[in-house]
């Protein structure tokens, strides 16, 4: 696996600089089961976007003839590797297809703000790395709790345990108010089995914003702040 990751890194750098890789857009998932399946075997990293540029002309989607997509190449600086064998501290080219036609609905894939930090689900394809989705976003999720550069995932624990650490632990470079806002916004995206123990700690905080945010998420799990639980899932 390590040799595969090294080969992908070398090939990714080569293709990122020399030519446009031959990639085909992914079919848009139709339901939540397909969304989840698209991420099951993906490499998962936390990273910040250093650049994002189009590298090819817009073209019709293979699966949706009325939709136009344009291949983009990002440079992602990897801060944490939650699953897979890439290396934290490196900057990698990662490709994806962005909507190039009019649309309505939630912000699509590629609606980044500056150097947004995200959890990215990534796959190898055609000798490069690409996001596990195209067009609509179900493979890049905002992280607004600061950097967690010293966090090393436990390989014996599932991915959700690592996501709980990223989303429910205050990292560096974020204020208490912004951390509390992030907990309130994204805390219920983590299964309660892994979220609740951390929310209990946050609910005991003397900071009123953090306390209130933790209680809000606990209530979304139908758990009052003062109630204990074990193995509870939403």
Residue partners of 75: CB distance under 8 A and separation at least 6: 49, 50, 51, 52, 91, 92, 93, 94
**What predicted TM-score, i.e. pTM, was given to this entire model?**
0.86
163-176: burial string, b at 16+ Cβ within 10 Å, e else: bbbbbbbbbeebee
pLDDT in the model for residue 41? 85
The dihedral of CA 93, 53, 99, 113: what is its sign? positive
The token duo for 37 is 């399946």
CA distance 229 to 191: 13
Dist CA 177 CA 175 (whole Å): 5
Query: How many angstroms separate the CA atoms of 25 and 174, rounded?
Result: 36
Cα(54)–Cα(52) distance, integer angstroms: 7
Q: Is residue 220 helix, strand or coil?
A: helix
| Residue-wise pLDDT tens digits, 114-147 | 778 999 999 999 999 999 999 989 899 999 999 9
With cut-offs at 50, 70 and 90, classify the pLDDT of residue 234. Answer: very low
Residue 212: closest CA among 233, 188, 183: 183
Residues in the chain: 234
Q: Is residue 4's pLDDT more than 50?
A: no
CA distance 108 to 140: 10
The CATH 2.40.50 domain(s) of the chain lie at: 2-143
CATH 2.40.50 assigned to domain 2-143? The reply is yes
pLDDT given at position 226: 66
**Positive or negative, the Cα torsion across 55, 125, 152, 203?**
positive
Report the alpha-carbon distance of residue 146 to residue 222 in Å, rounded: 28
How many alpha carbons fall within 13 Å on the CB side of residue 33? 0
Interval 199-218: pLDDT, tens? 999 999 999 999 999 999 99
pLDDT digit string, tens, across residues 170-191: 999 999 999 999 999 999 999 9
């Amino acid at each position: 696996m390590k040799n595969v990751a090294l080969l992908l890194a070398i090939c990714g750098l080569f293709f990122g600089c020399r030519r446009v890789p031959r990639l085909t857009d992914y079919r848009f998932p139709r339901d939540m089961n397909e969304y989840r399946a698209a991420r099951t075997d993906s490499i998962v990293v936390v990273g910040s976007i250093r650049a994002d540029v189009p590298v090819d002309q817009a073209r019709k989607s293979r699966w949706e003839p009325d939709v136009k997509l344009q291949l983009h190449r990002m440079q992602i600086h990897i801060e944490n590797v939650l699953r897979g064998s890439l290396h934290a501290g490196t900057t990698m080219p990662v490709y994806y297809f962005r909507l190039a036609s009019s649309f309505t609905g939630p912000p699509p894939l590629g609606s980044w703000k500056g150097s947004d930090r995200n959890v990215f689900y990534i796959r190898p394809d055609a000798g490069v790395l690409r996001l596990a989705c195209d067009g609509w976003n179900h493979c890049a999720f905002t992280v607004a709790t600061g950097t967690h550069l010293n966090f090393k995932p436990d390989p014996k624990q599932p991915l959700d345990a690592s996501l709980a650490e990223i989303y429910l632990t205050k990292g560096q470079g974020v204020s208490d108010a912004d951390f509390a806002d992030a907990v309130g916004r994204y805390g219920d995206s983590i299964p309660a089995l892994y979220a609740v123990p951390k929310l209990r700690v946050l609910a005991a905080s003397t900071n009123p914003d953090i306390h209130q945010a933790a209680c809000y998420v606990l209530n979304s799990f139908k758990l009052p702040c003062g109630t204990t639980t074990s193995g509870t899932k939403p």
